[in-house]
Amino acid sequence: MIKIRENIDKISRELMRFGLNEYQSKTLAGMFSIREGTAADLILVAEIPKARVYGILDELIEMDAIRKKPGRPTKYLALEPEQAMQNIIEFRLKKSRDEAKALISMKMSLVPEIKRTFKGAAPLEKKKSVFEVITAGGVAEFETKKMYASAKKRIYIMTGVFE
């Protein structure tokens, strides 16, 4: 039993790198190890909290990584790892495409709203920084002369050059 748990932990870590969350990866690794079993079997073998096991199983079914077998008690069946992982990829791709479509749709309605809302707004003025840091040397003299030329009333210079 210890060796099985070590293997489940190892595969679970890899499945997390594949993008599954902790409980999804533990449950799927547990399913790969027992191939077919009940929620109670998974609670024991993969150490999934009882309160979370059915939700996680439903998520994996939605991703088409496992299947539910009819009957009492309900049993779950692991797909072949290659097929399960391919199905997860396809699930994620579809979800990403759906999210992108939703964002594009939102953009189509939001951009005109933003333009209407801020139509009369004045553009922001670029303000000059209160402080300007100039390195000592030949550049300092040139930059200081530029500041003198652009100053409206006065400039204040703090320096450590003469220390």
Terminal-to-terminal C-alpha distance of the chain = 74
Question: pLDDT tens, position by position, for the chain (163 residues)?
Answer: 678 888 999 999 999 999 999 999 999 999 999 999 999 999 999 999 999 999 999 999 999 999 999 999 999 999 999 999 999 999 999 999 999 999 999 999 999 999 889 887 777 776 666 666 666 666 677 777 777 777 777 777 777 666 5
Burial 62-72 (b: 16+ CB within 10 A, else e): ebebbeeeeee
pTM, 2 dp:
0.67
Q: Which two tokens stand for residue 136?
A: 């000592």
Q: Cα 101–104–106 angle (5° rounding)?
A: 110
Q: Which two tokens stand for residue 146?
A: 């530029």
SS (H, E, C) 20-42: CCHHHHHHHHHHHHHCEECHHHH
CA distance 90 to 96: 10
